[in-house]
A and B are shown apart, each in its own frame.
Chain A
Amino acid sequence: MKLSFTVNAKQVEASAPPVERLSDVLRQELGLFGTKVGCNAGDCGACTILMDGEPVCSCLVAAAQADGCDLVTVEGLTDNETLSRLQESFLHFGAAQCGICTPGMLMSAKALLDRKPNPSLDEVESALGGVLCRCTGYRKIIDAVLHAADFDGEDIAPQAGSNVGSSIRHLDGRPKVTGDLSYAADAVPEDALALRIVRSPHHHAGFTLGDKESYIARHDGVVAVFDAGDIPGRNCFGVIPKFADQPVFAENVARYKGEAIAAVVGEPNAIRYLDDAAFPVTWEVLDAVLLVDEALQPDAPCLHEGRPGNVMVRGRVEHGDAAAAIEASAHRVSVSTSTPFIEHAYIEPEAGYAYRDGDRVVVHGCTQAPVMDRDSVAEIMALDSSAVRVIPSACGGGFGAKLDISFQPYIALAAWKLNRAVTVAYSRGESMMATTKRHPSAIELSVGCDADGKITGFDFDGVFNTGAYASWGPTVADRVPIHASGPYFIPNYRATSAAIHTHTSPAGAFRGFGVPQAAIAQECAFDDLADKAGIDRLQFRLMNALDNGMRTSTGQVFEKGVGIKACLEALGPAWSAATKRSREFNAKSNGSSLRRGHGIASCWYGCGNTSLPNPSTIRMGITSDGKVFLHQGAMDIGQGSNTVISQIAADAFGVPVHSIELIGCDTDLTPDCGKTSASRQTFVTGSAAKLAGTELRKMVLRKSNAGEDAVISLGEGVLTLHDGTSTVQVDLAALDCNQHGYVFMAEETYNPPTSPLDENGQGIPYAVFGYGAQIVELTVDTGLGTVKIDRITTAHDVGRAINPLLVEGQIEGGAAQGIGLALMEDFHPGRTENLHDYLIPTIGDVPEFENIIIEVEDAEGPYGAKGLGEHVLIPTAPAILNSIRNATGAVVRDLPATPDKVMAALKLNDRGQYND
């Protein structure tokens, strides 16, 4: 039907089916891709626009209902290239990380501010409560809205030498607040065919495909059906070559609900209206094992040949005699903990498009690992890596699940075979059923300490449900025994892990690779032990904390940079204040059902791959017209690598960061910076950037014979060096360009020094660890078992904060995911594949933060910097559980601590009210 409405003050005509979702009309008919689609169900709010002044989810509005209405989208916030105060405020406070929720947040905020320019905190939370954000932890967004009315700040402009340490705005932030940034499902070529993946509706089933040709003939607009037989190369992928086991298309048997068995390609409208039930396939449902206990039964179906008993891999770290030491200890505790599947729940479902470029195939889309994607696609397509180009779109959140390939091989295959552009966009349900999850865990831990509270022995067994395929399961199995000790000195240590296959979504990488699950057991056990020993819980951690010169669980000894004590000491005043607040609240709460408590937990986390090479390479060049280009291949998924790596490179070379031209991820244009995972980009790629900047500086200085301290300035075709007394000019235009178009160019690689672990897990797994600790204060409603987090105080040792604003963004976002892990997140394959049954924290569930940034310089990292991205999630959940116990005595060890579980624990608690 013909539609006529006002969009962003312009009269617009459009044609669309009357019941088309308005979000689709805005995006597909009008090209207004600033409005994002995250769930198509009103659960995420990313598609929020204003309709006659009121915020609505445009995915729930029928096109016909907008006829004659006044619509405002994010594109309408910018007035002639000038950002509104609200948008500027978002940039200033770091309120946009990945940016996918930003349009929804901005439009919700605009609706509020139009009515109430100076809203209260409560009003902001209520107004924004309908938009989910998975990156920021919301508090920066709240700050941005509270300060929007009179915001007139500008970005800071650090000079050479002071780029590192400056809280500059995200360098790539502007298009996130204007709606101009292209994410995976935006800006698809108009002539692209669409692809729909046919997935198993069963957890475990044999299948036979029927007649593809007659199916195609019977469906107008369907061009092709692809299945395993169409894969030119290897129908198998995996992020760890030794364990690669996952087919692009299942062959004969599907091992989890949501596994791909075929793909249908055709004209977009034909694909939209396909009836999945009409696809020619016959299923034979087989017995499925969904839980580890079922998978370990002797008669359980075996998922993979060569992995008897469904055991994929085991890990172990051991030194001393843990059992004997615990047996001889003055105090002993044992804890059992469990955690469920956790879904990444980024607001951007997987999407992309591919096309054939002569003898090459080009893949666009969201990813955390462009080079791994390229190599995987090449192997599947039987192409040389050089024949595949991966151009990442902006990435609307990743958190680990976009490390594995998902949509890439399907569209690459279809585009290659059909010689047409082909696109795919996962629905929310597909994204949740088909992609990786955090491993469910079951952990048994015993710990002992002497009469003074010194830990004597630590004995840990962790069993992880690794799902149907390997994904990052081996990494979890490796990392857990190394990290299970936490950042503490333990003289007798034994930690084992096992990854067990089940007929569920592959469990893969999720911020922390199993370490958050392990830390829950360890940090809760430490609270029990501190109580038994009669020692303050913070003091207990301090007296057992690692320090320079002490051996870690793998026998590694750092001469400098061990920052956990500094973190715990920095939290001393906050701990005293929290203790006082809990006491005072509870003293006054006579007869009330509310009890307040506080808890603490620590973290450590090794940055980079475990005992494996993981180099990054950075290229920097100067053009003859006097511009400095940084080829930065560390995928920015919102965390800020584009900004941080530029700051490092700018200081190493010696120019203001804002004078550097950034060339973002593209496997043709940027050297390999590895994957955005393992908290490695600031450390590893940052080190490469420092080397490249330093080398480029040396080249320039050599050319001009200027002194080492010379100040570089770049003009039109001229590079000028001042070194106090003299000024030298280099005529860039007179120099020869290399094949990359540069007159000066440096390309440097950094690979962190590690060594393999021996049969007892002893060795040098990581060159750098980062450290941290968090205090949580919360209130438990003992009548209902509900938990309200009141405040989180963090102290994270980042070695050197390259950008303190971005550090805070990581901390608050990670802690928010920790809150979800502790209190609400619980993924059940086949049951919670949407964002209303699978709950993540909303703006009302994340408290205020006080962040103390600790800088204990690292020997290896650039400017002393350490990684941070995963560390920040680890302490939150155990600190919450320890706070609940402190408030009420209730011991919850099976996560999430939903109200019913807290209530059950309150009843079991026969020790009465507990508070120190």
Chain B
Amino acid sequence: MKFARPDQLSDALSLLADGDWDIISGGTDFYPAIHDRPVTQSVLDISAVSQLRDIAETDGFWRIGALVTWSDIIAANLPPAFDALKLSAREIGSVQIQNRATLAGNICNASPAADGVPPLLVLDAVVELTSVRGTRDVPLAEFIQGNRVTVLEHDELLTGLRVPQHSSLGASSFLKLGARKYLVISIAMVAARLACDDAGRISDAAVSVGACSAVAQRLPALEATLIGQAMSAELADVPTVEHFAGLSPITDVRASAGYRREAAMTLTCRVLTKIAQGSRQ
């Protein structure tokens, strides 16, 4: 077992190219997974690579570095399109978790119930994967392949997320449903982002649902139907059962599959209403 804590990205990438590592930063997924047992695997701690800590607006993108925590997101000055992301940040675990856990870790952990994924999907987030071989950009929707499965190669590090400027327009919101107030794994969650044209008609719509399929999903049929609608309370009437047909919820200790499917629709209607109400103020 080895341990390394480089402070330069290049060193981290060299190490990754040259061995089998578990990557940690906040540790909020790593330690729970080993239960009470000691660490026996090699660990690459990237938390000292300070160049990955930035949130910045550049070159037509918002870029969120791999070390940005949920608390950093809550504190950051970001456009309203990121409100969904900020709302999800407040519902991830607890303050203790938000202070340590990173967006990048949430994505790489690839849990179906990852609270950060639906809001990032409505921002059309692209993940930046870096290795000694170079950098490739992969849309988030393609990065996560299944329950705990991603396309991250063993020598790659998720170094950041990029949100295209055109996707950081409009207003957004997020709702999470759990069986208790804090520290709860989602039964279902919904994020949405709506942008309007000058006439107050929806020109861009993005809606995603988490914890109702192996990977959180966008709802393209619903999004298409929303385009051209007026930004009003009537938006809550737009979603239909068919819009949610692509979900594949499971029954587990938290809820039944049928309930999840219905809750997804209810939450979606409410999220759309919240955005419409917010935009009128």
A interface, CB within 8 angstroms of B = 1, 17-21, 40-43, 45, 48, 54-57, 59-62, 64-65, 108, 111, 125-127, 129-132, 272-273, 427-430, 783-786, 823-824, 826, 828, 831-832, 834, 836-837, 839, 841-845, 898-900, 903-904
Contacts and interface: CB of A to CB of B under 8 A. Distances in A.
Contact of B183 (A48, A61, A108, A132): A132
Contact of B36 (A45, A429, A783, A899): A429
Nearest to B42: A19
B274 to A, nearest CB: 13
B99 A899 contact: no
Nearest to B1: A19
B266 A784 contact: yes
Given A42-B94, A899-B259, A904-B259, 12 more contacts: A19-B39, A40-B31, A48-B96, A55-B95, A55-B96, A60-B32, A62-B43, A783-B266, A823-B179, A828-B253, A842-B184, A900-B256
Interface in B153-171: none
A904 B100 CA distance: 38
B99 A56 contact: yes
Could you say which of B31, B254, B266 has the most chain A C-beta atoms within 10 Å of its C-beta? B31
Contact of A784 (B5, B39, B263): B263
B25 to A, nearest CB: 9
A900 B259 contact: yes
Contacts, number: 161
Given A18-B5, A845-B180, A65 B45 contact: yes
B133 interface: no
A704 to B, nearest CB: 60
Contacts of A111: 95
Contact of A57 (B45, B97, B179, B263): B97
Contact of B38 (A56, A129, A273, A826): A273
A842 B95 contact: no
A45 B93 CA distance: 10
Contact of B97 (A42, A126, A900): A42
A916 B125 CA distance: 51
Nearest to A1: B3
Contacts of A17: 3, 38-39
A126 B96 CA distance: 11
Interface in B1-25: 3, 5, 24
B93 A273 contact: no
Given A130-B183, A824-B179, A845-B180, A427 B35 contact: yes
Nearest to B91: A129
A288 B185 CA distance: 30
B26 to A, nearest CB: 7
Nearest to B255: A900
Nearest to A126: B95
B175 to A, nearest CB: 9
A842 B5 contact: no
28 contacts: A17-B39, A19-B43, A21-B31, A40-B36, A43-B183, A55-B99, A56-B96, A59-B31, A60-B96, A61-B27, A62-B24, A62-B27, A62-B43, A64-B3, A65-B27, A65-B45, A108-B96, A129-B181, A129-B183, A130-B94, A131-B94, A823-B179, A823-B180, A836-B183, A842-B184, A844-B180, A845-B181, A898-B179
Contacts of A783: 266, 270
Given A17-B39, A40-B35, A844 B96 contact: no
A54 B74 CA distance: 14
B253 A60 contact: no
A129 B124 CA distance: 31
B255 A826 contact: no
A277 to B, nearest CB: 12
Contacts of B47: 65
A614 to B, nearest CB: 37
Nearest to B48: A65
Interface string B76-109: 0000000000000010011111011000000000
A264 B256 CA distance: 42
B211 interface: no
B99 A54 contact: yes
The 8 lowest CB-CB distance pairs between A and B, nearest first, are: A130-B94, A844-B181, A129-B182, A900-B259, A427-B36, A41-B32, A842-B182, A19-B39
B100 A786 contact: no
Q: Secondary structure of the A side of the interface?
A: loop
B232 interface: no
Contact of B182 (A64, A828, A834, A844): A844
Contacts of B95: 55, 108, 111, 126-127, 129-130
Given A18-B5, A61-B27, A898-B255, A836 B185 contact: yes
Interface string B52-71: 00000000000000000001
A522 B94 CA distance: 38
A60 B26 contact: yes
Most buried by B among A60, A61, A786, A834: A60
Contacts of A54: 71, 99
B262 interface: yes
B39 A60 contact: no
Nearest to A269: B38
B24 to A, nearest CB: 7
B281 interface: no
A896 to B, nearest CB: 8
A275 to B, nearest CB: 9
Given A42-B31, A130-B183, A273 B40 contact: yes
Contacts of A40: 31-32, 35-36
B27 to A, nearest CB: 5
Contacts of A18: 3, 5, 43, 45
B140 interface: no
Nearest to A425: B36
Given A17-B39, A64-B5, A130-B97, A786 B31 contact: no
Contacts of A108: 95-96
Contact of A826 (B181, B253, B256, B258): B253
A64 B37 CA distance: 18
Nearest to B100: A56
B226 interface: no
A836 B263 CA distance: 21
B177 interface: yes
Contacts of B270: 783
Contacts of B32: 40-43, 60, 834, 836
B187 interface: yes
B96 A42 contact: yes
Contacts of A64: 3, 5, 45
A59 B27 CA distance: 9
Nearest to A593: B266
A839 B180 CA distance: 8
